[in-house]
């Protein structure tokens, strides 16, 4: 596959669809880090829906939630589509979603902190990439598997035309964090055909679109499909 005169490199990787339950009360990125370690994943693209969340000011990331809350705000994450990756022992989290806070004086925010805490355990579903020795920019150290239907496409491009059914697009240096998709015609980062995603974003101002610089994309291909031509 080519983008202009640049050939896209395709890396077949060991990956699996999975479902898991992540702990509540921890910061979201910590709950997802535990999930990666528990399953032997280098990274995962996950979706969670209808999850109660809470923001407790001045609570350290490693501090437990107090038994009696005297301050803080509760809310709900309607849907979060996330890429979580281990960089050594540390998790990195990015993605997009819809959430709201149950406080009239809380202004809508463009970013949701990775330190936001779930108010209870939550079910996540997605695709986990098995940890291995091959370093990637976005998905950590993965395991190469030649016969896999999951492939990482590596290239720098400014859009997704010609890309097969895209499950996720990569974090870039300017898109870390969980971005609000409340103003977008949002169908999720995952399992949305690339041309549909581009069509959905087209009517909206560039200032509220996700960054359109893609360096690595995880896709699922049909058996025998040649994507590196």
pLDDT tens digit sequence for 112-137: 889 999 989 999 999 999 999 999 98
Which tokens in the block code for residue 145? 């598997």
CB 127 within 8 Å of CB 45: yes
pLDDT for residue 138:
84
Domain ranges of the chain: 2-12+131-220, 16-129
Q: Which residues contact 63 (CB under 8 A, 6 or more apart)?
A: none
pLDDT in tens, 46-62: 999 999 998 887 777 77
d(C-alpha 144, C-alpha 148), whole Å: 8
Mean pLDDT of 134-157: 86
Classify strands 90-101 and 177-180 as parallel, antiparallel or unpaired. parallel
pLDDT band (50, 70, 90) for residue 72: confident
d(C-alpha 120, C-alpha 97), whole Å: 18
Range 16-129 classified under CATH 3.30.1360? no
């Amino acid at each position: 596959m080519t983008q202009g005169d640049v050939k896209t490199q395709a890396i077949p990787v060991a990956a699996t669809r999975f479902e898991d339950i992540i702990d509540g009360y921890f910061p979201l990125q910590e709950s997802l880090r535990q999930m990666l370690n528990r399953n032997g994943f280098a990274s995962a693209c996950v979706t969670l829906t209808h999850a109660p969340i809470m923001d407790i000011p001045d609570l350290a990331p490693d501090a437990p939630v107090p038994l009696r809350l005297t301050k803080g705000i509760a809310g709900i994450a309607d849907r979060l589509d996330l890429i979580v990756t281990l960089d050594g022992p540390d998790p990195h989290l990015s993605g997009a979603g819809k959430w709201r806070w149950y406080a009239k004086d809380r202004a809508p925010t463009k970013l949701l902190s990775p330190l936001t805490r779930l108010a209870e355990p939550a079910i996540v579903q997605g695709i986990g990439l098995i940890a291995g020795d091959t370093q990637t920019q976005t998905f950590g150290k993965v395991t190469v598997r030649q016969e896999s239907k999951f492939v990482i496409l590596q290239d720098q491009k400014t859009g997704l035309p010609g890309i097969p059914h895209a499950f996720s697009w990569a974090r870039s240096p300017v898109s870390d964090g969980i971005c609000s998709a409340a103003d977008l015609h949002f169908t999720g980062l995952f399992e949305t055909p690339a041309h549909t995603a581009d069509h959905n974003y087209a009517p909206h101002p560039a200032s509220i679109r996700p960054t359109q610089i893609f360096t690595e994309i995880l896709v699922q291909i049909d058996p025998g499909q040649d994507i590196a031509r």
